[in-house]
Amino acid sequence: MTITEPLRLNIATGRQGEPAGFDTAIIKVPARWYVPVDGTMGLAAVIAGAELRKVSERLGASIDETLHHAKWTITNDPGLVRELGLRHDCLACRAGLDQALAALRENPDGELAVGHLWWAQQGSAP
């Protein structure tokens, strides 16, 4: 396998003040995020950023939280996935990390997006 250089993408929402909570999330990077660049396939940061914003907001909505901001790292480095994926050491995050590492073992050249998501205080305006 080839370890690719991690790509970091920040998702801002304009929400001010201190975040109220934090979670991690890991998703497989879909093929549609890659575009041909000089004969090889490269990750399109604009596409990835737009989709990760939607993913971040959807993840928040699914647990009744509102996104404050998020930081995503796209990588296929199992060590980095483990380090970033365990920033929130709860059962759900551990299970997600185990699944993600298994997916990476099956497809070592596939990339994962590891997200750190911060939630806004309830009722805070954007």
Positions that interact with Zn ion (CB under 5 A): 88, 90, 93
CA distance 48 to 33: 6
* Residue 101 host element (H or E): helix 91-106
Residue 45 or 93: the one with the smaller Cβ distance to Zn ion is: 93
Q: Minimum Å distance from CB 16 to Zn ion?
A: 25
CA distance 115 to 70: 7
Q: Minimum Å distance from CB 14 to Zn ion?
A: 25
Q: Minimum Å distance from CB 34 to Zn ion?
A: 29
Q: Minimum Å distance from CB 23 to Zn ion?
A: 5
Residue 11 or 59: the one with the smaller Cβ distance to Zn ion is: 59
CA distance 7 to 113: 9
Residue 24 or 76: the one with the smaller Cβ distance to Zn ion is: 24
Backbone torsion region of residue 107, taken as left when φ is above 0, otherwise alpha when ψ lies between -120 and 50, otherwise beta: beta
Residue 90 or 102: the one with the smaller Cβ distance to Zn ion is: 90
